[in-house]
Amino acid sequence: VSIQPIEIVNKFIKELHLKMDSNMYVLIDEKLELISSMDINSTPVSLIYDTNRILTKRINGFVKIETLL
């Protein structure tokens, strides 16, 4: 989850050579709707879901890419 403009997020994705596929999503929350509803106090936030779409882990703040892979 990010509040950054899409251009900045896309640059980040390219710099890390991330492959955006059906297992990875980035949400741009410019209106702070998800941030408000999930009590997110800072961004970025990584929300990890299992194959049943159940939230299994929430990482507040920056995280090393190795942690996510």
pLDDT bucket at 3, cuts 50 / 70 / 90: confident
Per-residue buried b or exposed e for 13-30, using 16+ beta carbons within 10 Å of the residue's own CB: eeeeeeeeeeeeebeebe
The residue to which tokens 């390219």 are assigned: 14
pLDDT bucket at 16, cuts 50 / 70 / 90: confident
Is the model's pTM score more than 0.85? no
Q: Tell me what the mean pLDDT of segment 8-32 comes to.
A: 83
Token readout for 60 is 């507040």
**Partners of 28 in the β-ladder:** 2
Answer yes or no: is pLDDT of 21 > 80: no
